[in-house]
Structure 1
């Protein structure tokens, strides 16, 4: 039986435990892969868990402390990543030996893990959709509803929960080789095995990526038609989020698709089976880094968040001095603009003292 969990070969399939490539062929030996997984995965999950907790809790504290920075989608994305992170200790223990948490916990942890994984990626895409609606579709009343983002968040959680029910239904514990394992058991329902893989690929990668790509292209086109810097900021945001999401999830999506072809008996060789097992471990570990990359990327691309975070890390005196200096710079710049505007106006007034020509207005400081 297979499971879409990091614990068993990072994929969800029983071949990893039974050491069988395909049922109609002779066993494919994978002892060395299991030994590598038992040593590497617990360490990786533990480090990822610690770094994710630090990064996401820091961002969550900023959202709680500063109401003006609190946005619906980023907050929900952080919550999803934290919930996903809380499942990593279970997978770390499981990867080092066997499932010791019982039958109900197997289903519960898999359900929470899958819901948080889907919702995190969908919230990531929803942030791009929000930027697109706020900047490109702002003149359409239907998209300016104050309840829009709340409704979208509710839909994301509902879709993620409904998709995860399939995983929780088929996952269970049973004994293999004198060890308890938590994995999928499809029995004679092989079609559901293919469905679960395609669901993970489409809902976890394809749909979020297409949303991000569409919004990124439209925002770039929109920014090219505007000259102000403010119009280019959302486009830069969207491009950064789209590229990072693609780099994290595309390799994993490709390997899941290849595993699906293997389930359909397109590939038969034992060596190919082993290579797929190694590839799924590596690419899923890369994809799971999203719980660290998401908050770091959001902070990196958000100037206001960086300023607040710097204020939290610095002493009160340093922070007040910095704010004072920044205010002084802003005032001096405004003063320079105003003085320059006055000089230009005075010069124009001397040259055109005979009359005020139509269409000429006093320059404004910007």
Structure 2
């Protein structure tokens, strides 16, 4: 969390009256902007990821490897967004939840950050296998289901281990106000390098390699789903780049020189880009669940079961589309539909 770094110390900004005033303006901006963004991400992420979890557990029954990932991804994002109200209150006032909660929230936040990013990487590889090696992946579906569950368990364990520095070194700090964070230059460097590698470069590299091969495969395929599949790929990559690149770029620039800590413009940049990066927790349900025909069909069943919407025969249309997709997937065009229909 950018707000738990030690830029609250006004000593950096007291070199002149102008810079001190700029810092005061920044603090006022942060006090309004961050809580609003955190609460928006919290509400949208809570609703979206809860919906995906309910449908995945009660309607899709974990029949495929994709279903396994689509349970763990919203679960990680859901726990992640549940930490945001704590940070929202702390950014408006100060940290009042004590040292134990500080360590706990830091650990939960970090663990689910890594879990979410690593599962996104696994989903990319899963789609690669589903499209490029469709027949082989289908024949080994049961084996991949078992492997997928083991992979998800390993991801959670690895993420917990990676979050240990925040748990161990996280403390309540007393600056110009009480904040929750950790202040250790050596640990901060290791944490930053790990977050950049596993939280940005690994998913990005995986997307570039896998989706490049997928696009090449789809371009040689025939079928009405091909162009929709390509649009989904570009949308997934674009959203990842637009939400994650600015924040990671700012952090990378910051790591080159400590002088940036004394620049008010830098703190504006990292505050805004951090909030944008957290939008992934809201957008993941849309990108990795609602684009699938099967998921949308089950969503309609849920809506019908709870009586929120009259049955208008829409599910029949989706069922027809799904049946058509299955027919194509049994033909030479299997790679054109596997990507779109999760």
TM-score w.r.t. structure 2 length?
0.80
More helix by share: 2
Counterpart mapping for 1:342-361 below 5 A:
none
Match of 2:330 in 1: none
Match of 2:338 in 1: none
Q: Do 1:72 and 1:150's aligned partners in 2 also have CA atoms closer than 8 Å?
A: yes
Matched, 1:149 2:148: yes
Counterpart mapping for 1:282-361 below 5 A:
282-313=272-303, 318-319=310-311, 321-323=313-315
* Counterpart secondary structure, 1:181: strand
* Counterpart secondary structure, 2:83: helix
Q: Structure 2: where are the runs of 5+ without partners?
A: 325-342
Q: Do 1:201 and 1:253's aligned partners in 2 also have CA atoms closer than 8 Å?
A: yes
Q: Decide which of 241, 262, 265 is 1:275's aligned counterpart.
A: 265
Structure 1 Cα separation of the partners of residues 285 and 322 of structure 2: 29
Match of 2:129 in 1: 133
Indicate the RMSD between aligned Cα atoms, in angstroms: 3.1
Whichever of the two has the greater Rg, that structure is: 1
Match of 1:340 in 2: none
* Counterpart secondary structure, 1:182: strand
Structure 1 Cα separation of the partners of residues 27 and 308 of structure 2: 52
Structure 2 Cα separation of the partners of residues 17 and 95 of structure 1: 11
- Measured after TM superposition, the shift of residue 206 of structure 1 is 1.0
Q: Do 1:215 and 1:238's aligned partners in 2 also have CA atoms closer than 8 Å?
A: no
Structure 2 Cα separation of the partners of residues 224 and 49 of structure 1: 39
* Counterpart secondary structure, 1:319: coil
Structure 2 Cα separation of the partners of residues 201 and 173 of structure 1: 25
- Measured after TM superposition, the shift of residue 138 of structure 1 is 4.9
Q: Do 1:216 and 1:238's aligned partners in 2 also have CA atoms closer than 8 Å?
A: yes
Match of 1:222 in 2: 217
Match of 2:69 in 1: 73
Q: Structure 1: where are the runs of 5+ without partners?
A: 334-366
Q: Do 1:131 and 1:234's aligned partners in 2 also have CA atoms closer than 8 Å?
A: no
Aligned length: 312
- Measured after TM superposition, the shift of residue 207 of structure 1 is 0.8
Closer, same or farther: CA 320–34 of 1 in aligned 2, 3 Å = closer
Match of 1:354 in 2: none
- Measured after TM superposition, the shift of residue 139 of structure 1 is 6.2
Structure 2 Cα separation of the partners of residues 319 and 174 of structure 1: 56
Larger relative contact order, structure 1 or 2 (CA cutoff 8 Å, min sep 6): 2
Matched, 1:92 2:82: no
Structure 2 Cα separation of the partners of residues 117 and 306 of structure 1: 27
Q: Do 1:198 and 1:257's aligned partners in 2 also have CA atoms closer than 8 Å?
A: no
Structure 2 Cα separation of the partners of residues 175 and 316 of structure 1: 50
TM-score w.r.t. structure 1 length?
0.76
Match of 1:203 in 2: 198
